[in-house]
Amino acid sequence: MGDWDGNSFVKARKIAVLLIGSAVTIIGIVMIVLPGPAFIVIPAGLGILALEFGWARRWLSQAKAWISAAAQKAKGTTYHSTMSNSESTTHAASQLQLISAVEASRMLKNGEAALIDVREVDEHKQQHVAGATLFPSSIFSIDSFPSANEGQTKLLMCNRGGRATNVANQLCQSGRSDIAIIKGGITAWKSAGLPVVIGAKVQISVMRQVMIAAGSLLLVFTALAAFVNPWFLIGTGFVGAGLFISGATGFCAMATILGKMPWNR
């Protein structure tokens, strides 16, 4: 087995555990301030690290004790505060509006709404609704999103509605009440016979380019780790952590970089 024997394999395993466990734990810490199951993700990350590291086992025990204490404290809250939180959550959820393509077209013609396309640059180039403002979900941030205009609804559009829903949920949770989703996205828009602007056809979408690039890097680092030195597992761990973070946060740094390449402009 060569480099995989003895201490080299042990070191490689420790590196893999460290990278994966650290990535999961960091995601859990981020979820403390962002929407997400932090109380589940943090112990999961520490649990992975605990497979190899004693300090992680101690931290895991402390985390379990802290979560248990927090759960007991939560049980002691009054019925009134529980009902208030439920009403607040229901109100936030009710802010998410679904608008049909036909109704969206009417609102746009009457100046009652502005259209925000949250698809990627290459998708927008291939086809889009005239007058739509491009704001890709891969680079979404609440602070940079177009500000509210009195009496005007921001209509979010993607391909079928999934990405638009994700963006809309984050905006509504931040306090925006002027957000609505075009149900079914541009697919429903075309099905309703509404016009679209057809542009240049891009052979490979940015997200497919991301998958090709990430897959190639994983194959290269895996081959190098198997035949050259197991320390190249650091590279596979880095790529894997990047993909995990992209899936958890909705922000893909590789997609952003590839979107700025000359062939995607």
DSSP reduced 3-state for 155: strand
For residue 20, give Cα distances in angstroms to 63, 111, 114, 126.
18, 49, 42, 37
For 24, other C-beta atoms within 10 Å of its C-beta total: 23
The question of whether 172 is a catalytic residue gets the answer no
Spell out the residues 6+ positions from residue 19 whose beta carbon is closer than 8 angstroms to its own. 233, 234, 237, 238, 240, 241
Q: Which of 16, 49, 158, 248 is catalytic?
A: 158
Q: Judge contact between 189 and 101, C-beta under 8 A.
A: yes
Q: In what order do the strands lie in the sheet with 133-134?
A: 97-99, 179-182, 153-157, 113-117, 133-134
Amino acid letter, 38: A
**Cα separation, 6 vs 12, whole angstroms:** 10
- Annotated catalytic residues are 158
